[in-house]
Structure 1
Amino acid sequence: MTLPSVEAFERAGLRAWPGIEVEWDGAWVRRAANGYTKRANSLQCFDPADSAEAGTRLAQAVAWFDQCGLPAVVRTTPLESPALTAALDAANWQITDRSHLYAMPLRAHRADPGGHILSLSDPVFIAAQQNLQHYDPARTRKLQALLASMAVPACGVVVAREGTIVATGLMAIADGIVVTGNVVTDPARRRQGLGAAMMQTGLAWAFDNGATIAALNVQADNTAGKALYASLGYTHQYDYSYRIPGEPN
């Protein structure tokens, strides 16, 4: 099976991990979600040809983020306009969080016996995310607000051992692509196959709900995560990163 294009993956990601506030400027999109993750709180370009007045539009985006009470962030993918890249370079914006998109054709998976599919608002799922991510109440509320904005089929996934939740993540299906996010395992119980058990459980749900492609984002320095996803059949598709304002030249 031929995997989708970069644009197809990015547009699916836009729907699967939405902003609460969204504004389009041509093929550039600004998203804000109370500061929960860079992906949902960033400027992104979806067409390399959309290059007009890049410096002015970047400044307008910075002002928009300021009005939202957020730091300015740009998500840089292979779709970014060279003119936007040049404007970022000229203003000395720094590259951070180098990452990859991994994907694979989706096949049937077997859910783990200790795995459970929950709604995104289920208190058990929220508590699992809060506890394993070590979120304070304010950050948990930001997560809940973003989850409430999701308008595609989605679920929370937890895996339990001896009555204790030891791994969690979420799955969201957009345009036939299941996008996985917020994957976390109890640090004291790593290397026990728990991340794989959570992924298998969520992918089984996604396959049963019509997804044909699986995708996820992983930081370039997350060696363990990349090994896990490769073991499940995911392969590297393309790189992306974020850019944040640096000291003026």
Structure 2
Amino acid sequence: MTFCGEFSITAYNKRLGRDIRSIRKLRGLRQCVRDCVDRGQCKAVNYHRDSLQCQLLGDSTTDLSDLMDDDSFMFIDIASQRTVFSSCNVSCTRGVCVKLSSEIDYCSVPRCPLTFRYSSQLNFCYISVDSGKKFADAQAYCETLGCRLAIPRTMDHIMFLNSEFSNGYMNNNKYRIGGQWNTEAGEWRWINGNAVFDSVNLNLTDFQISSNDGDLMWDCDSDLRQINTGNGEKFLCEKVL
């Protein structure tokens, strides 16, 4: 049997408290997910990070309010995380096919977690964080989620964020993003090293950038604008897919 689709964490610090079918000890996270898929009737897992305990569940949910708060656990819904294909090598077009010791082919394809917002057109997956942090601290926080500070690299990305705020999916109309002035290079750069402004994606003259210093912020009123590096601002994390 061949499995395709990278598991992603549905919810951190939460667990589902019903229909625990089996508890398995000393399991890595990937093994826990695979045990659930192999079982057939398993629909989700609660995974205890400290004790490596794997709880296989006969029920699941996509409503996060159904979950119980528990700092030691993470919850993974199986149905929304992976798709079964007939051949990993044939069907794994967006991922990497990995041969497991069990001789099962595993196709690693990142998915946007259910707690994030996603644009299928842009393949852009983000979450807004409503606590104020400086640039380095914000980036460090995003990394704990397996993310980076968001890179809205085109006007389509910026317009998507504008529409997200207009439709009520953000609590604030401006957020720190992953762009800074790079003194050594003499240009604005994203945290992945690419130039922010070029002739293809974004033009510097279209935005309120008054001097060559500081960081960048997405602002629904002005699209992109400059901020002081030392300011503690709310920010956007992006999961790279």
TM range (shorter): under 0.3
Greater RCO (CA < 8 Å, at least 6 residues apart): 1
TM-score by length of 2: 0.24
Please tell me whether Structure 1 or Structure 2 has the larger radius of gyration of its CA atoms.
Answer: 2
Normalized per residue, the structure richer in helix is 1
